[in-house]
Structure 1
Amino acid sequence: MTVSAWYRPTHAHVPGQNARHAEDAFEHIRASARPGMTPADLAESDAFRHGLFYLDSGFYWEAHEVLEPIWMALPEGLDRRFVQGLIQTANAFLKQEMNRPGAARRLCGIARGLLPASREAWVMGIGAERIHAMLDSLEADL
């Protein structure tokens, strides 16, 4: 998938500050993650790739929206906890955008508890260091 093929939202939704996207706006992305897919297939899905892109690009509500079906499709274990950690990382950044620093700090702790403690670990093709560094940066800003 090339960046030009990625669905870019019209805006980053921040609850209480701007309009929510249409109910089905991300359904075509979410549909790429289905129960029964292997963790490797889910890591290559449009939902996972878009989720990471949105997380990196400041679309935090949108990242949560497209990562959720991946989390739900994964069996219990490291991969599922990692994706839940990504979702909580997105939620932490979203709370910062909503000017709720206490909630953002709390979610940073939850996210870290879900990520591998070793920053050198790789899960679903993503280095844990990348996500820990994002949380480090957010916590420094709070």
Structure 2
Amino acid sequence: MSVPPNVHGPLPWPQWAYVPGEAAGLDADYETLALAKALVPPVFRGYVPARHPALRYGLALNDRGYSWEAQEVLEAVWAAAPQNGRERILLRACIHIANANLRLRMQKAHSAARMFGEALGELRALSSRKVAAAGDGFVESFPVPALTALLQAKLGRAELTKADWIALSAIVRSQ
């Protein structure tokens, strides 16, 4: 898939954050998300580059409160990631976290806790997988232990609130 001719420079942010069931009745800003998805190749060879613009955009969407949109973009990256690769596992964890963040915004704390738990399970599965040669892949550059510790802390709380959302890029910057 090629990059649309109207994409030059940084990708635009969606015009609004889509939240299923919100009273505004707005549908998602699919046009903006299509720009990011168009950057994803049909298949990544070997690994997903940590600096791939669609990956970085998906993580940034989550951090800016566009949780539903983050899932959409990260799922496109996941679908192109090498089968049985470590990146697919980490991407699934990030997708679960974006989903949990959306559930927190929708005030569905139990559902959010379940999604955080699924993300933690993915990270544990990732830790048990053989580490590949060092490179500039997403897994090699992502601080998995820091995210694992953060998820464990969140899940140790009696009840989650909107304030418990997780910014993925902040974890990367803190390392």
User: Could you tell me which residue of structure 2 aligns to residue 125 of structure 1?
Assistant: 141
Partner of 2:15: 10
Task: Tell me how far 1:27 sits from its aligned partner.
Answer: 0.8
Moved over 6 A (4+): none
CA contact (8 A) 2:15 2:29 kept: no
Instruction: Quote how far apart the aligned CAs of 1:134 are.
Output: 5.2
How many residues are aligned here? 136
Classify 1:134/1:13 alpha carbon distance in 2 versus 1 (closer, same or farther; 3 Å).
Answer: farther
Unaligned runs of 5+ in 2: 1-8, 132-137, 161-175
> Are the aligned partners of 1:40 and 1:124 in contact in 2 as well (CA < 8 Å)?
no
Calculate the TM-score normalised by the size of structure 2: 0.67
Contact 1:51 1:66 in 2 (8 A): yes
Indicate whether 1:78 and 2:86 are aligned: yes
Aligned AA for 1:67?
A: L
Partner SS state of residue 32, structure 2: coil
- Against the structure 1 CA distance between its residues 84 and 115, is the aligned structure 2 distance closer, same or farther, given a 3 Å change threshold? same
Q: Does 1:27 align with 2:43?
A: no
Pairwise CA distance, 1:28: 1.1
Decide which of 108, 111, 115 is 2:116's aligned counterpart.
Answer: 108
Root mean square deviation of aligned Cα: 2.5
Which protein shows a greater Rg? 2
What's the % identity of the aligned pairs?
31
Does the aligned pair in 2 maintain the 1:14–1:98 contact within 8 Å? yes
| SS of residue matched to 2:30 | coil
- What SS class does the counterpart of residue 10 from structure 1 fall into? coil
Does 1:44 pair with 2:51? yes
TM-score calculated relative to the size of structure 1: 0.80
